[in-house]
Amino acid sequence: MVKKINRKASQDKILTVAYSIILGVFKKKISTRKTKTLRYSSLKSSDKAKCNDLVQNVLRFTIYLDPWINKNKKGRLRIELLCLVRLALIDILIRNVRQETVLKKYSDLADSNERTKYSKNQLRYLIHLAYLQLENKALTPIFFFEEKLRKILLKQYCLEKVEKVEKIFSKPPSIDLYFKKRVLSDNYLNQLKGSSVGLSHFRLSQNISLMETKGYLEGDWWVQSLAASLPIKMAPMTFKGKTVLDVCCAPGGKSFQLVDMGAILTSIDKSEKRLEIMRESLFRLNYDFDLINIDVFDYEPKKMFDIILLDPPCTATGTIGKNPDLQFLDPVEKLDELIKVQQKMLERCSHWLTDNGFLIYSVCSLLKEEGENQIEKFLRNNKMFSAVHSVEKYQLKKDGLEIQKDRGMRIMPFYEENIGGTEGFYFAYLQVKGSK
């Protein structure tokens, strides 16, 4: 009996925390990144993953759920009740929770809020109706982009590509590990739960604790998506023995890659909070390089660099699969401002390169304004640079990989679709036309 009571208390706590996070996104426009750490502090470690899964699924399928809710509701729904209904539908459609359990726990949660306690009948009606329609296979959740963002994407890509991205984003995001060269072996990988997904990368099975995964304490790997690693992996130049500057380096995946490949590295970022997290990884990985807390616009290098990696702030629309709250925070609202910042960063970094040096530009965005268009403009205004690529080196003619002469390379989320896809990225290699 005690175990049952404890389990119920734990489930109630998970639901309460998930509800507060969801309400923060839709009512206060607060990203989950800003609330999760605080909210999750009240949960047991084993319950944090369950709570995150519930939150992510609500955000992932909201655009699908809301038309159904609006069609079947009776009267007006307060935002507080609407978020409750969304949570309940995820329990029904994704988690397959029994009707009696859903009715009980959501009625109890509604009772605890002055803005929802008098609307329980509507809540119970929608829950009951969802179960009836579920039996007829009338409800099959799929991810859709928010209307404003979807219109922008449809102007830049064909309908087929947008729908393929939505299909990938319907799935739970993968957890990819990047392995140091010295530890990578078939024998090692066979001891892990998951599968290899390309050079140096391993994709974990779902619901695996990172700290309990082989190699965590030994510092054998770090978490980095397959797509995020490609700007370095596919580069046409070598990094061993080269002086490299990583601008906007946190949380550090690309910096760790560069060190693993033998670069003499300096990394800078203006966020001390993000750098603290990066330092923890640095210690675990037993890496050592110059890590500086400074804004790129305040940084005055004492030397020129062979290679500069610039990963500036962007809309991060390519990561909506793992950060589905982004599209409800209007990522394109600050697009014009972000484009200007990216341009200024490109211009500033361009003066710190040696003859024949390389500037690698990388953004986790699906928007061409931050990718192709940004580089086209930079090259028009900076004739001492030319765009290069490494098609011949890799011969990767795969669906989702778009190689554009003089405009860089784009990774769509359905790249490697057969293994679950990845994030969306754009990157370009710009070389100084120095003396040979």
Q: What's the length of the chain?
A: 436
Residue among 410, 340, 331, 377 nearest 152 (CA): 331
- Please tell me the distance from the alpha carbon of residue 176 to that of residue 389, in angstroms, as a whole number: 25
Q: Residue 327 in contact with residue 432, Cβ under 8 Å?
A: no
Q: Residue 358 in contact with residue 307, Cβ under 8 Å?
A: yes
User: Which pLDDT value is given to residue 436?
Assistant: 42
Task: Judge residue 83's burial from the number of C-beta atoms within 10 Å of its C-beta, 0-12 exposed, 13-18 middle, 19 or more buried.
Answer: buried
- Please tell me the distance from the alpha carbon of residue 110 to that of residue 100, in angstroms, as a whole number: 15
DSSP class per residue in 13-45: HHHHHHHHHHHHHHHH---HHHHHHHHHTTS-H
pTM as predicted: 0.92
Helices (H) and strands (E) in the chain, counts: 15, 13
The position carrying tokens 């995964």 is 213
Domains of the chain and CATH, by start: 2-135 (1.10.940.10), 175-224 (3.30.70), 226-432 (3.40.50.150)
User: Which pLDDT value is given to residue 137?
Assistant: 60
Pairing relationship of beta strands 353-363 and 305-310 according to DSSP bridges: parallel
Helix (H, G, I), strand (E, B) or coil at 385: strand
Longest dimension (CA), the chain: 79
Which pLDDT tens digits describe the chain residue by residue (436 residues)? 545 556 777 888 999 999 999 999 999 999 998 887 677 778 887 788 889 899 999 999 999 999 999 999 988 899 999 999 999 999 998 888 899 999 999 999 999 888 898 888 999 999 999 998 876 666 678 899 999 999 999 999 999 999 999 999 999 888 999 999 877 667 777 788 888 887 788 898 876 778 888 899 999 999 999 999 999 998 999 999 999 999 999 999 999 999 999 999 999 999 999 999 999 999 999 999 999 999 999 999 999 999 999 999 999 999 999 999 999 999 999 999 999 999 999 999 999 999 999 999 999 999 999 999 999 999 999 999 999 876 554 555 678 888 876 678 999 999 999 989 999 999 999 999 864 4
Q: Residue 139 in contact with residue 93, Cβ under 8 Å?
A: yes
Residue among 368, 366, 251 nearest 316 (CA): 366
346: number of Cβ within 10 Å: 22
In the structure encoding, which two tokens stand for residue 96, read together? 């397959």
Q: Residue 246 in contact with residue 274, Cβ under 8 Å?
A: no
Q: Residue 307 in contact with residue 247, Cβ under 8 Å?
A: no
List, in order, residues 6 or more apart from 356 with CB less than 8 Å away.
Answer: 431, 432, 433, 434, 435, 436
